[in-house]
Chains A and B, each alone.
Chain A
Amino acid sequence: MKIVIPKIDVNKIASHSIKISEKTLAKSELANEFLLGIGNVVLFIQRIFTEMFSGRAEFKEFIYQCYQMGNKSLPLISVTGTIMGLVLTIQSRPVLAEFGAESLLPGMVAISLIREIGPVITGLICAGKIGSGIGAELGSMKVTEQIEAMEVSSTNPMKFLVVTRVLATTVMLPLLVLYADALGIIGSWIGANIKGDVTISLFFSQAFSQVGFNDFIPSVIKSFFFGAVIGIVGCYKGYNAGRGTESVGKAANSAVVIGSLLVLIVDVIAVQITDMLL
């Protein structure tokens, strides 16, 4: 079977922006660096895609990375998810009570968790936890010659380190988001029980009576992109770390900053698209 990658001439885009960057060299150092950066990122992403579909896959490493990522971020996401649901419930109850609409509470909380709060909070947490981890790990591997050692052991580090991590974040993020959603609703149930008395099954059935596939699907798709962005940024920063030890910290730091920013930007775009389609 041959997998056809859609024909976007990334090479052209990259070489174009590098060309523009060369022209502006004399004019502005900063703009130059920015354009060079874009060119390099585009080339990096293109390399990830070509490596992904060529040769033997590093399946074991991919599974190991998925396990690591899930394992490491689970506690943090559990706590945040529960607290988000709890707080959201406690905060919105008085307002709803004013209109006598308390029965809408579970549905409202579920919708806001699933559509927006779950994905974005999980995305930001993972940009911090997973993104910085990847940036620091690959950065220190770069600085201590471990990436070069892989290359001479006739292993393609782009495939072994980068492709596996990008795929792992892309697969794991949606799963973590769904998990955060579920815990958020449980947190909300706890919040509802502080001043009332609802069984968990009733609460869940009330919540899901308001939630449809229209709420789930866009949020899952969005989380895939969050995952891809976090993985790509972390890998790019780590893989291109400089030569000193201080560049490891820099790589981890900018992986978090740029990762979080891009998660929010992707979110805005995703919301716009969902709005247009539904």
Chain B
Amino acid sequence: MNIYVLMKRTFDTEEKISINGGQIEEDGAEFIINPYDEYAVEEAIQIRDAHEGEVTVVSVGSEEAGKQLRMALAMGADKAVLINTEDDLKEGDQFTTAKILVEYFKDKEVDLILAGNVAIDGGSGQVGPRIADMLGIPYVTTITNIDIDGSNVFVTRDVEGDSEMIKTSLPLLVTCQQGLNDPRYPSLPGIMKAKKKPLEELELDDLDLEEEDVESKTKILDIFLPPDKTAGHVLKGDLTHQVQELVSLLRSEAKVI
């Protein structure tokens, strides 16, 4: 089975965000594999181990994403591909990323593509379904379970807390939701082996894409931080009094009950 994982490098969830010159400040920040894409890598490895085949992890980004790709290789993926847009593109959006990945997949035999539910930075959840549509394959988003039986696939999809049991078939794209699995930590031998696994680097040229083919459809005008929350009012006195005061504040000051 040819299994592909779409992986985005993103800020560590621990990071506070600051803005410098109209851009999110990246200096000094820690980066990780987008947490939902970790579920995708883990699931891909488990499916390969159960059904045989090969797991290729693909990322669109800059040179730095190589580190997260190595991490995925250390977890157990077989190959990695970095589509490096650093020299070719200044701006990009979800259309850009999807279009680049679709070009990459055009000449591949794809059985299953696993993506994350959303990237925790951009947060749109667009990239997976866009790619599936452009490749003409079905997709199921926010999955919490997947069973593959020949070309039949049974998936559980989380829909605002309810679970849908869905029957579909390969080739297929899924996006992974929390609860799907517990991603493994790379082992020391895994990390050693990863150094020898192939990490291919491509540029737009290698995909026969011109800058204008992938020009973003949206434009960011400004980035700003939410207003600082100042620590509020910790109530005092005996508990009964505190609870009464809280209810009265919620009613007359905050006006929410």
Partners in one complex: no
Residues of chain B having any CB pair with chain A under 8 Å: none
